[in-house]
Amino acid sequence: MKVVKKILKFLGELSKKKMARPKLLLRLSVVLAIFALLIFLAQLWNSNQPIHQISIVGTSFLTPAEVKAEIQDAPIINRPKNEINYAELAKRLRQNPFIENTYLSEGINSLTIEVKEKQPIALLVDNYGKMRYVSYDYSILPYRLFNTYLDIPIITGVYKDELLDTAALRSSIDIINHIRSNSNSLLISLISEIHYSRDSREFILYTSDDSKKIIFGGTEDIEDKILNLHDYLKYDLQYNGKKDFSYIDVRWKNRVIIKNNI
């Protein structure tokens, strides 16, 4: 700050003195060159400073210790910043299946790693009961227990024996993504399972409270189906106190068919 103030004071004095233009430009050039040299020296000094501390921010599912474990073989602590390969560091971090991206920023003697995690949006269950997570970008993630409770639906029926029907899985995720993209809290909390019927090649949704069936059909006109379903359920809860139905059918355009229990 003192250097900057001196430079500004010097420039002010120059402006008060009505110097010849060439002489003024020459002095301005000298000042700018000195200023650039100071910046260069400061950056050089900073790049030679060693890292003494690593901070992990942005984690929800992973712990900071798990993130640090991905780079435990990379010599960082007490190493000058200009000797650290940050591209390789980011590559190592992304080897964790739950890490989508990382953002690295330096302090004088510290490194902050901001983590963007892949968000599990559903639990995938195969025909043998093995569970895995799936994220919004169709990635399959290993199953593990988190400290954070995950209130997410289950996807079933997308396996034939041990073979995964990737098209059916992607369609299931599309249904979930469309529900979540509209911040539809009613449907997000209501739907507990998305089942793919291999016989009819249609999707059936089940409610979380009493496992009532919602016949969804295929993923054509998906936005309209979700909107119609939401509007009916909102109306049903508001005016009917939630009727007892055996199923809801939203396969038909601009129509919701309700089969009430008698």
pLDDT per residue as tens digits for the range 197-247? 988 999 999 988 777 889 999 989 888 898 888 888 777 766 565 556 778
**Number of domains, the chain:** 3
Average pLDDT along the chain: 81
The number of CA neighbours under 13 Å toward the Cβ of 173 is 19
Closest CA to 70 of 51, 89, 84: 89
Residue 159, pLDDT > 60, answer yes
End-to-end CA gap in the chain: 81
Q: If 0-12 CB within 10 Å is exposed, 13-18 middle and 19+ buried, where does residue 153 land?
A: buried
Statement to judge: residues 225 and 135 lie in one domain: yes
Statement to judge: residues 73 and 132 lie in one domain: no
pLDDT at residue 142, rounded to an integer: 93
pLDDT per residue as tens digits for the range 54-73? 899 999 888 899 998 888 87
Host domain of residue 96: 53-117
The CA distances from residue 198 to 191, 192, 204, in Å, are 20, 19, 11
Statement to judge: residues 125 and 112 lie in one domain: no
Statement to judge: residues 127 and 252 lie in one domain: yes
Q: Which of 84-93, 125-134, 169-178, 251-260 has the lowest mean pLDDT?
A: 251-260
- Rounded distance, CA 224 to CA 160, Å? 30
Statement to judge: residues 183 and 253 lie in one domain: yes
Statement to judge: residues 105 and 175 lie in one domain: no
